[in-house]
Amino acid sequence: MRSCVVVMAVVLGLGAALPGPLEPTPRFHSRRQAGPSLGDLIQEFALDISSVSWSEQGNMVLSPFSITSLLSMLLLGTSGTTYHELRSALLYPATAEDSAVHTSYQALTQSLIQDNPGMLVSIANRLYLQTGVNVLAAFSQDAQRYYGISVRELNFAQNPNGARDAINAWVSRETRGKIPRLLNFVSPQTTALAVNTVYFKGAWETPFQKRTTHPSTFNTGTQNITVPMMSSMMKVPYLDLPDANAEMIALPYQGRQFAMFFIVPRGPVTLNTLLELEFYLDADTLNRHISNMRDVQMNVFVPRMSINYKADLADTLKRLKVTSLFDSVRGDFSRMTTDKVMVDRVIHETIIDITEEGTEAAAATATDLNRIGTSRSFTVDRPALMFIRELRTGAPLFWGRLVQPEPLLD
């Protein structure tokens, strides 16, 4: 069984609001051909936010869906420069009405939520307010309608540690204990704190067998490390990418609504090779490659690993020209509250565990496949791109760079 957990929190503090100049968000990929679908727009945002984070040398795994849904919820409450900066960064077409954007998120969220044998996806949103803060009724109603936001009051001013503990306890419950302490501190100046959680747990359609997992070498580009390497012979979607000097594989989950993809470059084992591969991609290119994948029987080798990533995305969003959101003077939340507020922090935490497990019936099928010989293989033993995609909408639930896996032991 594989589990993925992401939590994102936006912390708003006291400030003042005045209009300011608007700068368009720069385009970070030379070929931007995203179609009108929300899934494509979220994918392009994922590539943009990853592009401006290239200075990070290690693993980086985000939930583009989590980030964009929470920012879109904030869009409901902003005006002026703050509103236009958010819309520009989120890549929403100028011709798209706000109501269409929010309705699309409502529909996408409902399509992602799953509670079936072998597949569990839960999404929760909550807005914590300082006791007595005046939040406009229209904002509360729309946030509940489109994003399922539940609102709770906490006394940040007089009991910030108690507020922190209450939020951490809720996050821990929603993530099944995977993220027990999202917040280390909460400022007494906090007026509102918005949290989005995504919990994903899926069984492979064709699981790996624990008896075939063995220690193997993973080349990070700077050193060789030993990881437990899962292995199995299976029929999986595969595509050679000669233009990118890479190859791609998909590992579907039960039901084939979701799949995990790995894109492994063939060039020198360096971070630059991985970044060049990512720069090569856009939503249209990725869609085309995925549609061209064909089932191939091969030996598949994937590390049994855990990937943990936590960051304050404030500086990252500023590099996407979302600046007034964090400015005590220029931030405009006049459609959310009559109080003067600004965003203080954008905390994002992702935990991904990859193991062999699947259902008992699927395991029997995998045992049979292991008896068939083939010389073809796909091995994740070097830095690679990895993502989990909802296959009907193309929405990336998770997107990231795998540079150094953390061995996940029994």
Q: What is the pLDDT of residue 272?
A: 85
Q: What is the pLDDT of residue 9?
A: 59
Residue with tokens 């699309």: 104
Do 150 and 98 form a contact (C-beta atoms < 8 A)? no
The stretches of 342-385 forming alpha helices (DSSP H) are 360-369
State the Cα–Cα distance between residues 66 and 45, nearest whole angstrom.
Answer: 12
Q: How many CA atoms lie less than 13 Å away from 373 in the CB half-sphere?
A: 0
Structure tokens at 283: 């939503």
Q: pLDDT tens per residue, the chain (410 residues)? A: 444 445 555 555 544 333 333 333 344 444 445 456 999 999 999 999 988 887 777 899 889 999 999 999 999 999 999 999 999 999 999 889 999 999 999 999 999 998 888 888 888 888 888 888 888 999 999 999 999 988 888 998 999 999 999 999 998 998 888 888 888 888 888 888 888 888 888 899 999 988 999 999 999 999 999 999 999 999 999 999 999 999 999 999 999 999 999 999 998 888 888 888 998 999 999 999 999 999 999 999 999 998 888 888 888 999 999 999 888 889 899 999 888 887 888 888 888 888 887 322 222 222 223 333 455 899 999 999 999 999 999 999 999 999 999 988 77
Closest CA to 82 of 256, 319, 321, 295: 321
Do 149 and 143 form a contact (C-beta atoms < 8 A)? yes
State the Cα–Cα distance between residues 350 and 348, nearest whole angstrom.
Answer: 7
Q: Which residues of 364-388 are buried (b: 16+ CB within 10 A; e: fewer)?
A: eebeeebeeeeeeebbbbbbbbbbb
Dump pLDDT digits (tens) for 195-236.
Answer: 888 888 889 999 998 899 999 999 999 999 999 999 999 999
Question: Is the domain covering 2-202+307-352 a CATH 2.60.15.10 domain?
Answer: no
- According to DSSP, the residues that pair with 343 across neighbouring strands are 12
Do 76 and 144 form a contact (C-beta atoms < 8 A)? no
Do 66 and 194 form a contact (C-beta atoms < 8 A)? no
Residue with tokens 């503990």: 165
Do 147 and 69 form a contact (C-beta atoms < 8 A)? yes
Dump pLDDT digits (tens) for 364-405.
Answer: 222 223 333 455 899 999 999 999 999 999 999 999 999 999
Structure tokens at 214: 């063995």
Provide the residue ranges of all domains of the chain, joining segments of one domain with +. 2-202+307-352, 210-303+372-407
Dump pLDDT digits (tens) for 321-346.
Answer: 999 988 888 989 999 988 888 788 88
- According to DSSP, the residues that pair with 294 across neighbouring strands are 238
* Helix or strand holding residue 144 (H, E): helix 137-147
**What is the CATH code for 210-303+372-407?**
2.30.39.10
Strands 246-252 and 224-241 come out as: antiparallel
